[in-house]
Amino acid sequence: MISVQYVVALAVLLFMIGAIGVLVRKNPLIMFMSAEMMWNAAALAFIAFARNYHDMSGQVMAFLIIGTAAAEVGIGLAIIVAVYHRRHRLDIDEVSKLKG
Amino acid sequence: MLIYLIVSLLVVLQMSFASDIMGPKAPGGLKKVTYESGIVPEAPVGYFSVRFYRVAMLFMIFDVVIMALYPWATSLHVLKAHGFYNGLAFFAIVVVAFLYVWRKGGFQWH
Amino acid sequence: MGYLIPEVLLAGGALLALLAVAMLPNAKNLGSWIVLLAMLAAGVDAASMWGVTAKLIMSDTMAIDKYSILVTEFVLLAGASSLLLAWNADRFGAELPPLMAISVLGMMTLGTAANLMVVFVGIELLSLPLYILAASTRTRAGGEAALKYLLLGAFSSGILLFGMALLYGATSSLTFVVYPAITAANTWLLWSGLGLVLVGIAFKLAIVPFHMWVPDVYEGSPTPVTHLMAFGTKVGAAIILLRLLAFGFYGQDGSWGTLIGYLAVLTMIVGNLLAVPQLNLKRLLGYSGIGHAGFLLVGIATHSVDGANAMMFYLLPYGLAAMAVFGVLRLIEGQGDEVTLSDLRGMAYRRPWLAAVLIVGMLSFAGIPLTGGFVGKFFLLQAALFASQPGLAVGIVVGTLVGLFAYLRPLQMLFQRTEVSAKVQHLRWSVAGAVVLGVAVVGTIGIGVYPAPLVHIVSQSANFYWLTGG
C-alpha cells in the first residue's frame, strides 16, 4: 500500500507544473491546459485523502472536479477558437487591445 | 530492485534516442506532411476545422455528463426512490441541454 | 427540501428560458420574461422564509438562515437589474437571460454554502456563464476580455481547489462548519490549505495583489454583464469569504485577521488611486470596484459582529450605486460598448435627470453624506474603531479621500458647457433602464437618509453564526 504522502507529493508536483505553466507560457491553449492540470492535481489530492480517511466526500469532489472541468474546457475552447478566428494567431502578448 | 530501475531507464533511453543515432535519415519529402503515414490531406492544413472541434466538444461534454450516471446506477439500491428521482431530475437537465443543442443545429455536420 | 425552492425556481426558469430560446427563436424577450418572473418568484419565496431558524440541510452541506436569505435577495437584485439593462438588446444574443440566471444561481448557492464542495460548485456556476457572457457581443474586445477572464478564472479556481484539497487532508471533512471543533489539526497542511483558498477567493474578489484582470475584463465586457460582475460577483465572493473565515476558522482569527487587514488597507488605497487617471468609465468603475472590495475586507478583518454587520450592510448601497452608474452608462453607450469621460460632456444641461442619477451614484460610491455609501463607510469605520484597529480606520479614511478625486472627475465633465458630446445628444431612454435607475436612486437616497430598517435586517442576518458556529 502506497502511503498518502507520496500521492500528495505527486499532486503538489503536478500543481506546481501547472501553475508554472500558466505563468510562463504564452499560448492561451497551453496556459489553459496548465490550469486544467492544476485542477487535476487537486482531484488527485482529494482522492488520496479520501482513501486515507475512508471517506466518500473526497471522491465525490473529484467527480465534481472532472465534470466542471469538462464544462470549463467546452467554454474555454469555444472562446479561444472565437478569438483565434478573428486574428489567426495565438499569443497572449498579442491579446493586447485591452492594456493590462 | 536497483537493477530493474537501471534496466528500465536504459530501455527508455534507447527507445528515445536509438532511432536518432542509428536510423536512416531522409529529410524532406513526405516527412513534412502533417500525417506522415496516414491519409494524405487534400488541402493544405493552415488551420484546424471548427466543425471537427464542435463535434468533439459536444461529445466530450455529454460523455462526462453521462459518466455521472455510473455511480448513481451502481448505488441505486442504497439511494432508493429519493435518489432515483434526484437522478431523473439531473437527467432532465441534460435532456434540456440536448434539446437546445439539437434545435440549434449543433449535431449537423454542415 | 422546501428550503431550496428559490434555487429550484431560478434553475427551472433558466432551463425553461433555454428551451424557449431554442424552440421559439422569434419570440422577442420571451427568455428575458421567463427569467425575470423566475427571479421575482424566487425573491418572494426567499423573503417568505425570513422567520426560519438557522439549520443545516442536505447532509450538512448547505446552511439555511437569515444570512443566506439576505444574500439571495441581494444577488437576485443584481441579476434582475443586469437583465433589465440588457432588455430589448439583440446584440447580446438570446442566450443572455438563461446564462445570467445560472450565474445568479451560483451566487445564491454561495450564500447557502456550509461545505467546500458547495463553495466550489457555486463559484464555478457563477463564473462559467460569465465567461460566455463577456464574449456575447462577439467583438474583439469582448473576446479578449473573455479570454483573460477565463484564463485567470481557471488559474484561480485551480489554486482554490488545491487549497480545498489540503484543508480536506488536514481536517478529513469538507463541511467547514465543523472545522472549529477540529482545532487539533493545526498543522502546516491546514495553514497552507487556508492560504491557497484565500488566494483563490482573493482572485475572484479582486484583492490588490490579484486584481490585474479586473479593469480589462470590465472594459471589454458588455455593460449589463460588467454590472453583474461588479455587483453580483462581488457579493458572492465577499459573503463566502466571510462565511468561511468567520464560520470555519472562527478560533484562528489571530492568524488571518491581520493578513486580511493589511490586504484591505492596500486594496482600498491602491484601487482608488489607480481609478483616478482612468479615462474609460468602465475601467474607472473596475478600479473603483477593487477599492470597494477593500472596504468589504475591512468588515471581515475586524472579526467582530459589528464588522460582519458593516460588510453585509455595505453590499447593498454599493450595489445600488453600481446600478445607478451602470444604468446611465448603458443609456449613453447605445449601440456601442465604450463610454469615455469626454462622452459625458454637457450632460447636466442636455439631460439633467440622467446627470442627477449619475451624480447620486458617484457620490454614493465616494461616500458623501445623505447617500447609502456614506452610511456604509460610517459603519465600517465604527466597526474598525470598536475592534480597536486604528490602522484599518486610517485606511478607510485615506481610501475614501483618494476615491473622491476619482469620482469627482467624471462629475466635473457633466458641467462642461463648451460642447455636448454626440452620444449624449443621441441618447434614448428605455423603460427597463428607467426602472433600474429609479430603484437605484430611491434606494441609495433612502438608505442614506433613513438606514434604520436595513440596519435592523442586516443585524438579524449577520448575528446568527457567531452563536452556532463555535
B66-100, pLDDT tens digit by residue? Answer: 888 888 888 888 888 888 998 898 889 999 989 99
Round the average pLDDT of chain C to a whole number and report it: 87
Q: What is the pLDDT of residues A45-69, one digit of tens each?
A: 999 999 988 888 899 899 899 989 9
The answer to whether the Cβ–Cβ distance between C131 and A79 falls below 8 Å is yes
Res. C469 pLDDT band, cuts 50 70 90: very low
The answer to whether the Cβ–Cβ distance between A77 and B53 falls below 8 Å is yes
Mutate to test the interface with B, among C8, C19, C59, C128 (most CBs of B within 10 A): C19
pLDDT given at position C259:
86
What residues of chain B, 42 to 101, have a C-beta less than 8 Å from chain C?
93, 96-97, 99-100
The answer to whether the Cβ–Cβ distance between A97 and C219 falls below 8 Å is no
pLDDT given at position A87:
63
pLDDT higher at C469 or C2: C2
Q: What is the pLDDT of residues C333-365, one digit of tens each?
A: 877 778 888 888 888 888 888 889 999 999 999
Structural domains in chain B, CATH included, are 2-103 (1.20.58)
pTM for this structure?
0.87
- Mean pLDDT lowest among A66-75, C247-256, C355-364, C398-407: C247-256
pLDDT given at position C302:
86
What is the interface pTM, i.e. ipTM, of the complex? 0.90
> Average pLDDT, stretch C228-235?
92
pLDDT higher at C441 or C177: C441
Three-state SS string over chain C comes to CHHHHHHHHHHHHHHHHHHHHHHCCCCCCHHHHHHHHHHHHHHHHHHHCCCCCCEEECCCCEEECHHHHHHHHHHHHHHHHHHHHCCCCHHHCCCHHHHHHHHHHHHHHHHHECCHHHHHHHHHHHHHHHHHHHCCCCCHHHHHHHHHHHHHHHHHHHHHHHHHHHHHHHHCCCCHHHHHHHCCCCCHHHHHHHHHHHHHHHHHHCCHHHCCCHHHHHHHCCHHHHHHHHHHHHHHHHHHHHHHHHHHCCCCHHHHHHHHHHHHHHHHHHHHHHHCCCCEHHHHHHHHHHHHHHHHHHHHHCCCHHHHHHHHHHHHHHHHHHHHHHHHHHHHHCCCCCCEHHHHCCHHHHCHHHHHHHHHHHHHHHCCCCCHHHHHHHHHHHHHHHCCCHHHHHHHHHHHHHHHHHHHHHHHHHCCCCCCCHHHHCCCCCHHHHHHHHHHHHHHHHHHHCCHHHHHHHHHHHHHHHHHCC
The answer to whether the Cβ–Cβ distance between B60 and A78 falls below 8 Å is no
